[in-house]
Structure 1
Amino acid sequence: MTVPMIYGMILLMTFGLVDTFFVSLLGTDELAAISFTFPVTFTVISLNIGLGIGTSAVIGRYLGRGEQHLAHEFGTGALMLAFLLVGGLCLIGWLTIDPIFLALGATAQEMPHIRDYMGTWYLAGIMLAMPMVGNSVLRGAGDTKTPSKIMAAGGLINALLDPLLIFGWGPVPAMGIQGAALATLIAWIVGVITIIYLLAFRRKLILARLLTWPEFRASSRAILHIGLPAAGANMLTPLAGGVLTAIVAGFGTEAVAAWGVGNRLESLASIIVLALSMSLPPFISQNFGAGKLHRVAEAYRLAIRFVLVWQFVMFAVLWIASGLLAGLFAKEAQVAELIGLFLSVVPLGYGLQGVIILSNSSFNAMHKPMSALGLSTARLFIFFVPLSYFGSLLFGLHGMFWAGIVANLLTAGLAYSWFNRVIKAELNAGVTA
């Protein structure tokens, strides 16, 4: 189930990196501007992810029980709910662009670029909600190949349109950083049309109509029971990212630009973890619904062992290639130096971060969203942000990066022991019953 997701995410993340590359050609100010947008755009994406987690868990459990009609009804409700909630969040974001980004530390020189990008991106964020949640309906039914293709197609469209809309060609004017956001918008409009047609008419995994109010209320309650804490847990990440971006901003525009590039490369290096975090939950949900808890425990531990080894290999690759990658994404020597610093330290903690991500998704799959929320809160606001802040005060960016690794180590140990206690409790409850 994971391998098809890997293909799609490689293409999607690669095209996201292409997006950053083209923006970097505009200059350091534009690269810094788009780096400031990452915590905010990921807040919207996190709401989509949370709703998708709730959707996948609920549908997977109903399918495990053989209740097909409820699975289809709740899939329809998930799409309606995503459109309403994400649309509301994007409207609030659009109305508060200036105060939010000024609070993050953006300068007057960077704000015009941020307004150009986010003014268009918020509309793209609404369009993104439908494919993301729709893909969760497919994954809940055990299909990871089709979501992979949809993600890859969206990334490909975005990458092809980027140079055309950013730099212009023939009758198409050069739009600069706004062109990057417009490319994203067009890509996900295509995604909306594709996923609705596929789910409603080809696969018949949702109803080809809107739900009645009682139906919508029932489906929303079930999805939000898991999706709201999951969304909250995911939205804590960009909130913490915003705090960390503000800390990095104290070291200058060059540091923010390097931080943005490093985070995009981190997404690419974490593809296997992210793919597992999407394929593992429906496997766990269906086996949990069928009462096969030994399979749940075995799958979780196998995934943890694999991701620790794999991410260490990724650290070695990035450390070796740090100089080459830094030169590729930076025109200024100082920015390149800081990107090299990021890549030679931060990736050492990616395996530990993978343990946390997989534990979180496994908690949600077992319908324990408050445990996932508690783990995310502990990771970010007990360990990660405080340690990173004090590390930056004592040893600058070096200290901040190493403190993040220590925070991931502490949280990974907590996550692994916590999930295994939950599994043991469920097994004992099953034996008693």
Structure 2
Amino acid sequence: MRQDRIDAMRYEIVEGHIERTLIRLAWPLIINNMVQVLYNLTDTFWLGKLGKEQLSAPGTAWPLVWFIMSLGMGFATAGFAFVSQYIGAQEYEKANKAAGALYSLMLIFSIAVAVIGVLITPFAMKFMNVTSEVYPYAVNYTRVIFLGIPFSFTLFAFNFLLRAVGDTKTPVKINIFTVFLNIILDPIFIFGWFGFPKLGVVGAAVATMLSNTVGSLIGGYLLFTGKVGIHITSETLMPDIELYFKMFRVGLPASVGGSTDAFGFVVLTRIIYTYGTVAFATYSITNRLTNFMFAFANGISQAMGTMIGQNVGAERYERAKKIAERAMLINLIILGLGTAIIVIFRAQIFSFFIKDEAILAESVKVVRYFSASLPFFGIFSAVTNVFQSSGHTKKSMILGMLRLWGLRIPLSYSLGKVMGDSTGVWIGMGLSNVISALIGFAWFLRGSWMRRIVE
């Protein structure tokens, strides 16, 4: 590890001006998120040309993919917490060792995830109550995505490790390249341009898999050659039972929380499909729009996570609390403005993706009863990020389960049944964001997360 570079980044994060450092770390992440959202919007745009059934396939697939992936993503969260806190404590060799352990664990786990995912996809789609017209598209799309999971996992590991160090620019450069590659490949494989076979929905999945593979290989090269802040070697990849146990202990709650959260969205998909393909297609477009808004908010939250991790590692707890509060205020403003734009230009925005009167009518309900809760979700997201970055993953697990299983699913299901319409679902989703954000913020203020997990 190039210690002079790490020392300089650490000093700015632990001692420097909070807002200036937060923005410096956040702007590459915001650009990265924006480019990712651009891909998602492009994906939705091209598939919308095929029809609402094809457009619904990725939105149907991702709750299942996210559920399976979340089982391993908890280890990435644990690795981030250990690496960032070791750097905050100036234990650089231990940071390298933790990085190697994370990379090897992610690689092994991802292979198992890929096999399991391909096998269970048809059964999962039936469980989600996917309509018959969407089912074949969703199954084929999902299976291709699962085949590329090992490359997705190792690319995630690369992003987490460099963000823990404070290097937010290098991962962004790679991600921008892979996303633009994805954007180029999308219509080529979907429509069979330039002599390639016309693959339809599967073409979108193939484009995603290929671009993630390229990004993963570039990231792996940089880590193993030591050209970035973290240097993984054959020695750091060797099994370390004690370190694995520590990562397992910290990562398990994050894995359980993430997977139960993701499974909740599988159940939510089933609930929404009860009201037909139109309701789910509208929900899919809404997700793309909220992702656009959260490109900014998530960039701030991710930068905040790096600063929280290193300041907690340096035992600068009051500074960590101040950083979190500044980030939450910025996110509240960003998401408030974004929500206002969606409300004002709803008809034009939804019509851009697909000109369907039924979907346009459904969008009125979604915007009216769900979109207003998004600023609250920004607070909720920031609080869970604070808990995870400080290594207190049990708190984020409990808060996530409360939002989804204690509030969103029962409220959406019961209000939908009582009202006999999808309006109840959107109201339930909105209420879950508001209530969980207020509970999470109160828990954050108690300060029980202000304790580091490294020696």
C-alpha contact 1:32 1:254 (8 A) present in aligned 2: no
C-alpha contact 1:56 1:281 (8 A) present in aligned 2: no
1:245 aligns with 2:269: yes
After the TM superposition, which of the residue ranges 42-51 and 278-287 deviates more from structure 2? Answer: 42-51
Deviations 1:76-106 (A, max 9, x none): 1111111111221221111011110001011
1:17 aligns with 2:41: yes
Shift of 1:19: 1.0
User: Match of 1:96, SS?
Assistant: helix
> For residue 281 of structure 2, what is the aligned residue in structure 1?
257
> TM-score, length-normalised on structure 2?
0.89
1:412 aligns with 2:437: yes
Summarize the Cα distance change of 1:48–1:282 in structure 2 as closer, same or farther, 3 Å threshold: farther
C-alpha contact 2:84 2:309 (8 A) present in aligned 1: yes
- Which of 293, 296, 311 is residue 335 of structure 2 equivalent to? 311
User: Match of 1:324, SS?
Assistant: helix
Shift of 1:237: 2.8
- Which of 154, 162, 165 is residue 130 of structure 1 equivalent to? 154
- Which of 9, 27, 31 is residue 51 of structure 2 equivalent to? 27
1:398 aligns with 2:423: yes
Shift of 1:219: 3.3
1:281 aligns with 2:305: yes
Shift of 1:24: 1.5
Say how many residue pairs are matched.
426
Deviations 1:20-77 (A, max 9, x none): 2111211122123332112112224434543332121100111111111111111111
Deviations 1:175-196 (A, max 9, x none): 1111000001110111111101
Amino acid at match of 2:333: V
- CA distance, structure 1, for counterparts of residue 418 and residue 209 of structure 2: 42
- Which of 287, 294, 298 is residue 318 of structure 2 equivalent to? 294
- CA distance, structure 2, for counterparts of residue 303 and residue 212 of structure 1: 35
Any gaps of 5 or more consecutive residues in structure 2?
1-24
Shift of 1:424: 8.6
C-alpha contact 1:60 1:285 (8 A) present in aligned 2: yes
- CA distance, structure 2, for counterparts of residue 129 and residue 326 of structure 1: 32
User: Match of 1:208, SS?
Assistant: coil
- CA distance, structure 1, for counterparts of residue 406 and residue 74 of structure 2: 22
> For residue 165 of structure 1, what is the aligned residue in structure 2?
189
Summarize the Cα distance change of 1:268–1:170 in structure 2 as closer, same or farther, 3 Å threshold: same
- CA distance, structure 2, for counterparts of residue 314 and residue 40 of structure 1: 28
Matches within 5 A, 1:22-61: 22-47=46-71, 49-61=73-85
1:355 aligns with 2:368: no
> For residue 15 of structure 2, what is the aligned residue in structure 1?
none
> For residue 431 of structure 1, what is the aligned residue in structure 2?
none
C-alpha contact 1:200 1:206 (8 A) present in aligned 2: yes
Deviations 1:188-245 (A, max 9, x none): 1111111011122112613232646542x33332333322222322223321211111
Summarize the Cα distance change of 1:425–1:155 in structure 2 as closer, same or farther, 3 Å threshold: closer
Any gaps of 5 or more consecutive residues in structure 1?
428-433
1:120 aligns with 2:128: no
> For residue 103 of structure 1, what is the aligned residue in structure 2?
127
C-alpha contact 1:30 1:113 (8 A) present in aligned 2: yes
Amino acid at match of 2:423: H
Amino acid at match of 1:284: I
Query: What is the RMSD of the two structures over their aligned residues, measured on CA atoms?
Result: 1.9
C-alpha contact 1:257 1:335 (8 A) present in aligned 2: yes
Amino acid at match of 1:409: V
- CA distance, structure 1, for counterparts of residue 172 and residue 249 of structure 2: 27
Matches within 5 A, 1:137-286: 137-201=161-225, 202-203=227-228, 205-209=230-234, 211=236, 213-215=238-240, 217-286=241-310
Amino acid at match of 1:90: A
Amino acid at match of 2:442: S
- CA distance, structure 2, for counterparts of residue 197 and residue 355 of structure 1: 36
C-alpha contact 2:69 2:113 (8 A) present in aligned 1: no
